Amino acid sequence: MKKRILALLLVLILVFTVALTGCGNGEDVPEGEDVSEGPIKLGYIGPLTGDYSMYGETTKEGAELAAEEINAAGGVLGRDIEIISYDSKGDKTEAVNAYNRLRDKDEMSALVGATFSGTTLSIKAIAKDDGMPMLSPTATHLDVTLDAPNIFRACFTDPYQGATAAVFAAENLEAKKAAVLYNIEDPYSEGLAEAFNEKFGEYGEVTNYEGYTKNDADFKTVLTKIAENEPDVLYLPDYIAKVGVILSQVEEQGLDVVAMGADGWDGIEGDYADVAEGHYFTNHFAKTDESAIVQDFLANYNEKWESDPTALSALGYDAVYMMAQAMENAGSTEAQAVVDALAAIEIDGVTGNIVFDENGDPLKSISIIQIMDGKHVLADKISIQ
C-alpha cells in the first residue's frame, strides 16, 4: 500500500514538473521581435575536449578574436556580439544537443558552426527546418551546403581541395605517378582521396590507392608496397596526429617521395617539423602572405592568445566577420533576412576574397604551402574551376 502511494506521488511530481516547465517556456520567450535588447548571440559548436580538441579550440579563438574586434569598433546594429560555445567532443549526438541548447536556452540569432563535417551534417536537417542562418567555418564535406539555402561555409570543399592538390602535383611538381593513402573511416579523408584520385588520373597514373583505419599505427607494410611502384607524389589527406605517424615511417623506410596533404596538416610543424620538411599541403591561407589583413590578423591573434593562429582560426575569424556583415547589411537579426544577406555578401577576409556560389560554398583560391625549415612557405596560389 505504501509503495502504491509513493508511486502515485512520484507520478504526480513528474506531471507537475512537466506542466510547470512547459509554462515556464511559454512565459520566458515572448513572441515576436522582443529579443532585440542585449548582445547578439552567435552560437559556436566544436570539439573542445578529446582527440580533436585542438581544432575546435583554435577555430573558437579565431571567432572570439573577431567578436572582440567587432565590439571594439561599435558592434553590429549598435549591439555587441557574444559568442556562446558548446563542446561537441567531435560527436554527432553531442552536436545535436548543443544545437538544441543554443536555440532553445540561449536563443542564438545565428550559428557559426559546426566545426567538423560529420557533426555539421548531423545538425544540418534541424538547422534547415529552423531556417537558422548557419555558417560553418570549417566543414569541408560536399554535402554540408547542398539543398539547404540557409547553410553556408567559409572554407572550400573537399573535392575542390583534393582536385587542386592533384593539379599542383601534376603541373607544378611535374609528377607522373602518384600514390594515395587515406583513412577509410573518415569522410573528410575519403572525399579528398577520391577527388585527388580522379583528377590526377587525367594527368598521370595513380599507382596505389590504399586505406587504413583510425587505429592503425603500422604503415611500414603499405609503404613498402607503395615504394615498389616508385611514385613521385604521395597524397596523405588526414589530420596531423596520423600524418605525423605516417611521415615518420616514410622517413624511417627511406622512401624518396614528395608528400602532399590537405588543410588537416595545418600546424604539423609543431610536433613533426623534421619529417614534414619539404612536403606540401593545400591550405586556406598562408602566414607569409604580405597583405595587411593577414598580417593584422596574425599580430592581433598573437597578442590575444599568445600563440600562432592556424588556418582554422582564420576561418573562424572570417566566419564571424561574414555573419556580422550580413546582419549589418540585412539591418536586422531576423533569420530569413540574414540568410538573404549572407547569400549576397562579398567580403575581403583573411582567407581571401569571398563570394558565395548558389550552394553557399565560397569561391576563392587555394594556397599551396611548403614546409621549409619548420616554417610555412607559400609555394603557389591556385584557383581551378
Partner 1 sequence: MTLLIQQFINGLSVGSIYALIALGYTLVYGIIKLINFAHGEIMMMGAYFAFITVITMGLPFLATLIFSMVLAALLGITIETVAYKPLRKAPRISALITAIGMSLFLQNLAQVIFGAEPKVMPDLIPKRPINIAGIQIGTVTIVTIVLSLFFMFVLDMFIKNTKPGKAMRAVSEDKEASVIMGINVNRTISITFAIGSALGALGGVLYSVAYTQVYPTMGIMPGLKAFVAAVLGGIGLIPGAMLGGFIIGMVETVSKAYISSQWSDAIVFGILILVLIVKPTGILGKNEREKV
Q: Which residues are at the interface with partner 1 (CB under 8 A)?
A: 49-51, 53-54, 184, 210-213, 215, 217-218, 220-222, 224-225, 227-228, 241, 244-245, 248-249, 251-254, 271-272
Q: Which is nearer to partner 1, 105 or 225 (CB)?
A: 225
Dihedral sign from CA coordinates of 164, 167, 173, 175: positive
Least Å distance between CB 255 and partner 1?
9
3-state helix, strand, coil in the chain (%, to 5): 50, 20, 30
196 and 237 Cβ atoms separated by less than 8 Å: yes
Which CB atom, from 32 or from 254, has the smaller least distance to partner 1?
A: 254
**Minimum gap (Å) between residue 87 Cβ and partner 1:** 12
Residue pair 117/137 in contact (Cβ under 8 Å)? The answer is no
Q: Radius of gyration (Cα) for the chain, nearest Å?
A: 23
Min dist CB 55 to partner 1, Å, is: 11
12 vs 273, beta carbon nearer partner 1: 273
Phi-psi region of 273 (alpha: psi -120 to 50; beta: other; left: phi over 0): alpha
CA distance 48 to 359: 29
When the beta carbons of 90 and 113 are compared against partner 1, the nearer one is 90
CB of 267 to partner 1, least distance (A): 12
Minimum distance, C-beta of residue 56 to partner 1, in the bound complex (Å): 12
Is 332:77 a contact under the CB 8 Å cutoff? yes
Give the whole-angstrom CA distance, residue 274 versus residue 262.
18
- Pairwise CA distance, residues 373 & 245, whole Å: 19
Q: Which three cell numbers stand for residue 257?
A: 617521395
Q: DSSP strand E in 121-204: where?
A: 134-136, 151-153, 177-183
Our CB check for partner 1 shows the closer of 161 and 183 to be: 183
Return the number of the residue (17 or 229) whose C-beta is nearest partner 1. 229
Closest separation between CB of residue 245 and partner 1, Å?
A: 5
Min dist CB 184 to partner 1, Å, is 5
Pick 226 or 330: Cβ nearer partner 1? 226
Q: How far apart are CA 45 and CA 47, in angstroms?
A: 7
